[in-house]
Structure 1
């Protein structure tokens, strides 16, 4: 089709014959008592009908309580990811389809017409309409008290703010003068920009819609300083920790905050049904118990969870398999891991120490560190040789995979590494054989960890020996996860260890923005990311030709209108990362253990455990899972 012609892409919900809907067993008593409308009045006029047989799944039985474990109180937010109700969402093969939306019309990747489902309601029964989008746009995104930084980045294309129109109650139009190809994929993220809000609920906390006296009383009761702080505290679409805030997710939070046991109950107004007319989710309740991370495997082995991957790592497989063989009432599935690297070390190019900073910004230093990693030894010792040794890049399942990127500077060679360090002029050593920095200090390379994964500490222990051959003393410093992040963002961390990119399975259609210094989440350049995110008000301007080239390539991808060009841009960005070694990847593709109760059905035998894309269990549609014997499930 000619580029001069308007491209109309319609992402439409499959048109199924509408089945006769059945009342939800769990809610029947409330309907009988008149406390809840019947199912015919709770569903949208056109619900999303799921043909499970076409997906190779079985139709389920409603009921039961799904038990899962979290490692931190903040893990409550995972229910928003696992539930994965999105305006548009990924299918299991990572294609986009409407979900909450009835359909989407896309013209030239710059005009997006969102069609809502008439009759769709929030979990409290209030109508879900274009007014909820209007409230987000006019009263949240553009309110300087609530959002001082202004509208989010994705609303800008080439520094031009997009427009949002509301033709009627069930239509919303987002439009830009240039293409914004990442708009729909962002809506499908594990942590999406929620471009709608329950206006009927949040207006009571907004000064434009509430009397000053009522607002002041609410501010005092909540013990916050302003109405905006109150509004932001009550508006937790992603955190999912405010039981009073209505939701469109399959389960509603009904727990008090701060408790170790969080309970989620089915949403009476959920928009999805199966082809028999049974409302999803099949499972009535989800119970998340917060426990110490180190106990997750033992509790899974003891049968205290029905669905678990959070807090489990490759080293847990042996104990889980043994428990399964010894009569445990669960299966241990081995899914693929979608992170670009199981373990990656990030030298902080924005580290506050100017001497160390200049050393780390020299690509020869980063290459030397990579050559000083005995990946095969780590693979054998920690993963029984089942992982793939190499640097951080797109995984082999990605169409953008290039084995040369994975092998770049990944050969274990102390000879090459020492030659690179000598070439940098770092030839002086202490009496103990440790190289000296240009200012005479011993090269003690401090790597900070979240202290949550034993294999990370084991890998660093091996690295301590191999880097010692280079004259570098590795010092490991375990920290709390939040403290680690804050230190990295502030430039106080010399280096950190984490997973690789969340999305190790990119396609040409995937936005490559996370490969450029566009946000602080990439631990190698947090302040360069802050500079981009704040439009130059915070952080530091990126230094060096390669980071600037990455920004230019990401910008070109945003303007490209064909997949061939996008793929070429992706490949150049991946080559730059491989050559620059911004993150020292150790291994990738180690199997991820997933513990599944033997009573739980429709859980795929093979899957991908990835936060992006896919929202962990979300892309596999946890609302379609069910218990073979739900009556046996007991709420603890």
Structure 2
């Protein structure tokens, strides 16, 4: 359950008051010694906010030493954003109990669930040394989010409560207030996410690229013509989450220093980072985070050869045995962290497909149920996951209070006879000489399942599904593409079915947002146009026109205003029931163990943890800024 800690500046579990932590002069950081000696950088105590965040150690963690380069492998340049994800500096963030607490902000006050007052840390600075103040929040709200040239659709839909945007005020340089007339239970989870809602920007850096802050009279004709494209340049430079602009100041523990495109991205420690350990030493301990781009299918081999200090990206459970065999040779250990997605892999029938025939077919619940019943999940589990996975729907895992066997198993058991009967009932009775059913237009019933081309695991799963679907007269073809192309094809309706991971949070509580269960996001691949309609407040996309989808939106709206956990639980259960019954996404297996490669001299990586995107940010909630290298042990 999310617990809001109001009016505090320390993470739960202890941590010394700032004054106590700094009573003794902490050791300087060797990485910055020359810059401090030259006078180009202030000493540590002058780089920290007046009240830094003291981060307590988790069980098994120890005070670390400075230095070292943390190497990890990524399978595409766009994943440089993992520096931002793993750094996990957020206005408020989840702790390991998945409670939300202040982080970047010193204090948070919440009144009636609708008025949120943030108090910033005095003396906090951006990575380039410029002050971090309420002006950075004002700039984003007034000059970015509400500037039609920069944000044509207006502020993010995540800030909407029943169509109402917040009233945002900035009483002084360390105070920011967001106020709605009704409760907004989603606001803090949006701020704490792995890919968060970022409601501030480095105003001092971006203002010179904004028309409101540039004196055109001082420009010549050519300069004025070039400046007409100021909005596109501003948006290109303002890549807070993408993390690919090395000139953009950050509040993360490491700042990317490498411009894209590149095959090796180097993040260097932020000299003004706001966190310290219990001895008052500024974090992070590690000097550099290095992300090297590699072919995805080679990452497990490179990790086994010792080319990564911390690796989870592109590793699957099937790699665990191979990785285990190379532990001693390459001086690392393998950890297995359980995942809590609703389903590790799921199929997404595109209910917004552009082709009328396919759209009608995908919207027929009998068709979706038939496809689910014709999948041999036990075979998938045995062949690819050593029988260790949980077979069933894209629903919730056993860690959730909403778990039931019915939610996991309804319409998900292998039943080829029932699947065939449903397809017959639809009218798909004619077959060709190969036994493949014929569509209304006379063509074979061949479903093209599109992938992002990044996971051999997904491809292997589709190979197994192909065999069982063939038995009920359905052909399956796989079409890989790059992730950006993959998503754009889904959004436009060109894709009729895709494969992706299931719901990130498979262990929700009553206070977890059920937004993912309703058509609220274009990123929900079963109804991208309905999600876009919600996100753009009706300016783009299509309004939902299926009763079940409309009901999900109604239930989500009810949850937003529910005043008790009992009411929220009732809503969650009905939404989960609708999803399972309708098979809007077709789950396969869940509860997968994620292998983690950790070099033996890398310390403070938890032995036991969950591996989840949101909440969790993969490694983020375990504070990689506390990880350190014990070089003396080598």
What's the TM-score bracket when you normalise by the shorter of the two chains?
A: over 0.9
The residue number in structure 1 matching 2:305 is 302
C-alpha displacement of 1:256: 2.8
The residue number in structure 2 matching 1:525 is 527
The residue number in structure 1 matching 2:73 is 69
| TM-align CA RMSD | 1.9
Native 8 Å contact 2:61 2:604 kept in 1: yes
Q: What is the correspondence of 1:134-283 to structure 2 with a 5 Å cutoff?
A: 134-212=138-216, 226-283=229-286
C-alpha displacement of 1:11: 5.1
Could you tell me the TM-score, scaled by structure 1's length? 0.95
The residue number in structure 2 matching 1:4 is none
C-alpha displacement of 1:213: 6.4
The residue number in structure 2 matching 1:313 is 316
CA distance in 1 between partners of 2:535 and 2:89 (Å): 27
1:30 has 2:35 as partner = yes
Residues 366 and 628 (structure 1), Cα distance of their counterparts in 2 relative to 1, 3 Å cut:
same
Helix, strand or coil for the counterpart of 1:418? helix
C-alpha displacement of 1:215: 7.7
The residue number in structure 1 matching 2:45 is 40
C-alpha displacement of 1:400: 2.1
1:407 has 2:409 as partner = yes
The residue number in structure 2 matching 1:421 is 423
CA distance in 2 between partners of 1:156 and 1:562 (Å): 21
1:441 has 2:443 as partner = yes
Helix, strand or coil for the counterpart of 1:609? coil
Deviations 1:491-516 (A, max 9, x none): 00111111111222222111111110
C-alpha displacement of 1:154: 2.5
Q: What is the correspondence of 1:300-449 to structure 2 with a 5 Å cutoff?
A: 300-325=303-328, 327-449=329-451
Q: 1:82 aligns with which of 65, 81, 86?
A: 86
Residues 214 and 512 (structure 1), Cα distance of their counterparts in 2 relative to 1, 3 Å cut:
farther
CA distance in 1 between partners of 2:6 and 2:485 (Å): 45
Helix, strand or coil for the counterpart of 1:405? helix
Native 8 Å contact 2:601 2:630 kept in 1: yes
What is the count of residue pairs matched by the alignment? 623
Native 8 Å contact 1:85 1:249 kept in 2: yes
Deviations 1:200-229 (A, max 9, x none): 1111111111222678899899x8861111
Deviations 1:177-216 (A, max 9, x none): 0111111111000111110111111111111112226788
C-alpha displacement of 1:150: 0.8
Native 8 Å contact 1:515 1:573 kept in 2: yes
Residues 236 and 422 (structure 1), Cα distance of their counterparts in 2 relative to 1, 3 Å cut:
same
CA distance in 1 between partners of 2:220 and 2:83 (Å): 32
CA distance in 1 between partners of 2:574 and 2:136 (Å): 41
Q: Which moved more, 1:176-185 or 1:22-31?
A: 22-31
Native 8 Å contact 1:9 1:107 kept in 2: no
Deviations 1:72-116 (A, max 9, x none): 110111111000000000001100110001010001110001010
CA distance in 1 between partners of 2:219 and 2:405 (Å): 60
1:128 has 2:132 as partner = yes
The residue number in structure 1 matching 2:16 is 16
Could you tell me the TM-score, scaled by structure 2's length? 0.95
Q: 2:570 aligns with which of 568, 576, 580?
A: 568
CA distance in 1 between partners of 2:165 and 2:382 (Å): 52
Helix, strand or coil for the counterpart of 2:139? helix
